Structure 1
Amino acid sequence: MKDYLEVAVQVQRIEILARTLVNDLYSEEDREMTQIWLAELATSAANEVKSKINEAKRPTEGH
């Protein structure tokens, strides 16, 4: 299970990558790579959230 610090770092990375997409200092190739990384990070975060939701929905043993 990821701890709070790991999740915070992941969100910071997503934020930085998103800012890179709108910055004129980067080439089109850099922007394309940023989009790929952003999609990978966002998918990973979304899967983690879905996993936690599914865990919370499961009945606990003995109940």
Structure 2
Amino acid sequence: MRALCCGYQRKEAVPEYVTLTRTEREDLERMAYEKGLYLGDLIGTLLRPEIEKWRREDRPMGHD
């Protein structure tokens, strides 16, 4: 089953927007389709490892 629609309706989901060129957007849409994901879920999947990495980094106090 492909989850191509409405991922933003999931509990605690917050839509976010990214700025891409038209070509990048088209490629991202094709990538999501090939992976069977809603576009927003694909973006979250791609960003999640970087967010986790950032959380583990030592940061100055007051900047977390």
Instruction: State TM-score, norm by structure 1.
Output: 0.33
Query: Structure with the greater relative contact order (CA < 8 A, sep ≥ 6): 1 or 2?
Result: 2
TM superposition score normalised by structure 2: 0.32
